[in-house]
Structure 1
């Protein structure tokens, strides 16, 4: 492969990532309803992509389920907390009911996506902007280090049957980069947690690759130049956010970043 072909997708990837980063950071800085709305629309978009990849009974089902996700995220702003989790999970269960097959696989993945998005909102609201920045930069560092190390060094594949492009060199580079992000934000303890989230991010990418292979598609959609769809871009962040929510709920996170 020529050098141009090897790095041909880099300009589109960099530009798309820069735009998403700027918009995301502005909404993150605002917090509150602004960040809630951003995450709600992102979640609805990912559910739309996920439903499109599944054997739905109706061609309109993906957009209908996405609308339910938006409705649920907006409704929790006004309803008592006791209704929060049932309301957020309901679109995933309803979405599964409109499929011809793969209902369990879809429901599990959709619930994970929705809870991960809720975790991002909760992290911003109850822990502060610094925690969300830490999580975002852990995932970015994992992705960037893995991309460049994999392209540069190549080597044995990490999980060739599910993700033929991911190498051990890129995977381990992602862990190392994530550790240093955690170290910079909050010390060794956070560095170790960051490595766990780096692995979660990579497994999120692999699981989405498995879904696409099963569906026979290259990308979840074509919404983002150089990255494919929202799921292609945020699969790692969703997995890391979900694991962060579990860690925070079960054993707690290390001391405040910064």
Structure 2
């Protein structure tokens, strides 16, 4: 009887794929960098314009982003589930999740909205560089192989520092944000904003893990191909959703 060739383990297949990627020339590995940079510039410009216009323009922007995100979420759920009961329950839960984040963002003043966006940006950026620089144990390699405990700590530190700097330099005028000379935060305020920043960073990372888990269940790399080089809208706001919800709860009960 002929020998049957054993199927390579998933771990071995991933290692082989990584080696093939590493052997690629740098110019090929970074070939999509200009496209990613251009897409990022457009996203930042559109978001900045909506924030600057405020009012109905900002509200419309938030609603459109939420609806597109929900559409991508539903598409992932369709691929990830087989039973209709599970699919309906997941869609309802996702609608509540994304809707709660959208409502929170719509209710936040511009002063706090900028703080929230800064938390997400600094969490992602600092987590990326800390994870790449320090490395170390993975948090949940089966869900997101690139996420490390060092990256989480870096994201928490970055978010805490951002909030402390923002609250020192920005002041709520009642109609927007006024940048002014810094003033010394008290020890209690420093500790308080650091804790808030750390909690929000954990929330952002949790949102990232949730989307990664859903994409793995759906066997998809990105939520869609809407944004060249970046995937879909859900890929860009996965960390923002829980941060918006937590911030809305803090603002409601503060």
Q: TM-score, normalised by structure 1?
A: 0.73
Question: What is the deviation of 1:152?
Answer: 2.9
Distance 1:9 1:143, change over 3 A: farther
Distance 1:149 1:16, change over 3 A: farther
Separation in 2, partners of 1:114, 1:158: 28
Aligned residue for 2:110? 129
* Residues 122 and 162, structure 2, Cα contact 8 Å, conserved in 1: yes
* Residues 29 and 129, structure 1, Cα contact 8 Å, conserved in 2: no
Question: What is the deviation of 1:55?
Answer: 2.5
* Residues 116 and 242, structure 1, Cα contact 8 Å, conserved in 2: yes
Question: What is the deviation of 1:205?
Answer: 0.4
* Residues 182 and 192, structure 1, Cα contact 8 Å, conserved in 2: no
Separation in 1, partners of 2:200, 2:35: 26
SS in 2 for 1:55: helix
- 1:81-96 correspondence runs (5 A): none
Distance 1:7 1:190, change over 3 A: farther
The higher-RCO structure (CA 8 Å, 6+ apart) is 2
Aligned residue for 1:102? 87
Which is worse superposed, 12-21 or 216-225?
A: 12-21
* Residues 77 and 214, structure 2, Cα contact 8 Å, conserved in 1: no
Question: What is the deviation of 1:16?
Answer: 2.6
Aligned residue for 1:144? 125
Separation in 2, partners of 1:130, 1:170: 28
Alignment deviations for residues 33-74 of structure 1 (CA, whole Å, 9 cap, x no partner): 000110111011001101111238xxxxxxxxxxxxxxxxxx
Picking from 41, 57, 65, the partner of 1:42 is: 65
SS in 2 for 1:157: coil
Question: What is the deviation of 1:10?
Answer: 5.2
In the alignment, structure 1 residue 236 sits paired with structure 2 residue 239: yes
- 1:157-196 correspondence runs (5 A): 157-186=138-167, 187-188=189-190, 189-196=192-199
Aligned residue for 1:211? 214
Picking from 32, 43, 47, the partner of 1:20 is: 43
Distance 1:29 1:191, change over 3 A: farther
SS in 1 for 2:64: helix
Runs (5+) with no aligned partner, structure 2? 1-21, 168-188
Question: What is the deviation of 1:13?
Answer: 4.0
Alignment deviations for residues 91-119 of structure 1 (CA, whole Å, 9 cap, x no partner): xxxxxxx9563322332122111110111
Separation in 1, partners of 2:112, 2:31: 34
